[in-house]
Amino acid sequence: KVPLLEIKNLETAFKIDGNYYNAVDQVSFTVERGKILGVVGESGCGKSVMSLSIMKLLPKGAGRIRGGEVKFEGKNIEHYSEKEMNKIRGKDISMIFQEPMTSLNPVFTIGYQIEEVLHNHFKITKEDARKQSIKLLRSVGISRAEQIVNEYPHQLSGGMRQRVMIAMAIACQPKLLIADEPTTALDVTVQAQILELLKDVQSVNDMAIILITHDLGVVAEICDEVMVMYAGEIVERSDVRSLFKAPKHPYTRLLMDSIPKMDVEEEKLGSIKGIVPSLKDMPRTGCKFANRCPKAMPECTELKPVLAEAEKGHEVSCLLYESSKTGEGTNVT
């Protein structure tokens, strides 16, 4: 069976001072229909660049895909023209972002903007589009839908705007929804509601979702599988349960320590020391996490770890695991 989305050895580079540097480096993964995949890492780890690569929305002249494959339903979309991509975007694959204010147009009503998505992809009358947009708003938990269609984005709260964005994103019943930090700008209570809503719309439409976040707590809420990225690479991947039960990569463990705990609200918990190296300063040899890793060994600056199965269904890229030295085997240390 063909996976919904299949990424193979994706390399996306950005131009800095005339040279290209890989922001996404040899990333491979698949997304199955109806599954929720969490992609976790700090900002600058390549999560957003990866999703923009899938959508072919990289900033022109600055970023480009320079290697690998992106297959959607078995078709390589890498060579699709802008016109072909426009048919897919919003219809088969849609995307929501962190700050809905920037994706909603301030000068048009909510109804107009949802209906425009429908008109772009279907032959539908004005009346039917209006009915459909009210229905969509109800389906994302907006009860005053008849009024909201006539309102403008600035009249709504952040949480309501994100609901509207979700309504727009699912308007054409896409097979894949990419949600990039969809709850980051919202307060904790609204965050929880939006996550719950994503889970609901996923199950109704049997969509796959790629949920991009810096917060492992968000992943725990709704994801089936999780992929941890660092400096443009996948460093760990497994089902959510196994990741939370036994995180393997030192970076994942630090991310886990930084999940805010309910009872210690004020205290900033263990944010990770140091920063993700900039594209220009990326170490050329060894493990890219070596300069921040509490477990680093002398060999870590020389040998490059390979993402490999350390345990069935649980992959990690770290020299603490025999599998990462050889690229095979399951000899966990």
Residues near ligand SF4, by CB under 6 A: 249-250, 287, 289-290, 293, 295-297, 300, 305, 318-320
Partner from Mg ion, ligand SF4, none binding residue 295, C-beta < 5-8 Å depending on class: ligand SF4
Conformational region of residue 308, where left means phi above 0, alpha means psi within -120 to 50, and beta covers everything else: beta
Task: Examine residue 48 and tell whether it contacts Mg ion (CB under 5 A).
Answer: yes
Shortest Å, Cβ 292 to Mg ion: 19
- Its sign, for the CA torsion 219, 223, 224, 229, is negative
Angle formed by the axes of helices 110-121 and 158-170, to 10°?
20
CB of 296 to ligand SF4, least distance (A): 4
Q: How distant, in Å, are the alpha carbons of 90, 142, 194 from that of 163?
A: 16, 8, 7
Which residue lies nearer to ligand SF4 by CB, 13 or 319?
A: 319
| Smallest separation, CB 216 to ligand SF4 (Å) | 17
Closest-CB residue for Mg ion?
48
Which stretch in 14-22, 27-35, 45-53, 151-159 sits in contact with Mg ion by CB under 5 A? Answer: 45-53
Question: Counting Cβ atoms within 10 Å, is residue 81 exposed (0-12), middle (13-18) or buried (19+)?
Answer: exposed
CB of 230 to ligand SF4, least distance (A): 9
How is residue 299 annotated by DSSP? G
Residue 305 binds which of ligand SF4, Mg ion, none (CB < 5-8 A, kind-dependent): ligand SF4
User: In whole angstroms, how close is the CB of 91 to ligand SF4 at the nearest point?
Assistant: 40
CB of 246 to ligand SF4, least distance (A): 15
How far, in Å, CA of 133 to CA of 197, rounded? 17
Which amino acid makes up residue 26?
Q
48 binds, among ligand SF4, Mg ion, none (CB under 5 to 8 A by kind): Mg ion
289 binds, among ligand SF4, Mg ion, none (CB under 5 to 8 A by kind): ligand SF4
Q: Which helix (H) or strand (E) holds 101?
A: helix 100-103
Give the residues across from 309 on adjacent strands. Answer: 315
User: Which residues here bind Mg ion, judged by CB under 5 A?
Assistant: 48
